Amino acid sequence: MRRRWSWLFGLSLAMLLGLGVAGCDSGGPGAAVGEAGAGIAEEEVEAAPDFTLQDIEGNPVTLSEFRGKTVIIDFWATWCPPCVFQVPELNKLWQAHRARGDVVVIGVSVDVDGVEIVRPWIEEQGVEYTIVLGSVELAEQFGALGFPTLAVVKPDGSVDSLHVGLIEYDTLEELVAKVAGSASS
């Protein structure tokens, strides 16, 4: 077990250092990797990779079932220290939009040990939004370079933007408003 944690810590450290070298937008934490209308040609914008994953209760959650809503997907891991700080911001966003039903927040755990390690973590952190069990491979399909990485999916199912690092509530609301504005035009 100690060897696994050492390996995972080394991997997460390497990924974080790689982010610094890659220079993902000089915007700092929560920097956008790619946004439609901000350097990405319209024809390059693609549909989000669809997935069906199990939540911690074993129920299937399919991304395409949320067409017509803005979907915030947070790729995270229990072994990722910064991921802890994203939870309150996502809880606040979920609380603000839950009654309206216009925004869905999904946390995708990339932990290989599954629900046995994920469930206690989400209980300890007080996560209120849906958590599903995913993989690093799925995160990479979305373009994640490290964790946490947040993908914003438009109501039409296309990826609006990808953000690496921590994102505060106000920025999340700006992203949601931008997507809502582009959907109505």
**Tally of structural domains, the chain:** 1
The residue among 66, 35, 37, 38 whose CA lies nearest residue 50 is 66
d(CA 105, CA 69): 10
Pick the residue with more confidence: 182 or 146? 146
| 17 or 146, higher pLDDT | 146
User: Considering only CA atoms, which of 110, 130, 183, 140 is closest in space to residue 49?
Assistant: 140
The single-letter code of the amino acid at 113 is D
pLDDT at 135 over 50: yes
Domain carrying residue 168 = 2-184
Query: What is the pLDDT, as a whole number, of residue 149?
Result: 97
Q: What is the pTM of this model?
A: 0.78
Provide, rounded to the nearest whole percent, the portion of the chain with pLDDT above 70: 74
pLDDT tens readout for residues 89-133? 999 999 999 999 999 999 999 999 999 999 999 999 999 999 999
Does 23 have pLDDT greater than 60?
Answer: no
Confidence band, pLDDT 50/70/90 cuts, at residue 22: very low
Contacts of 12 (CB under 8 A, 6+ apart): 77, 79, 80, 146, 147
User: In three state form, how does the secondary structure of 110-152 look?
Assistant: CCCCCHHHHHHHHHHHCCCCEEEECCHHHHHHHCCCCCCEEEE
Strands 103-109 and 130-133: parallel
* CATH number of the structural domain spanning residue 172: 3.40.30.10
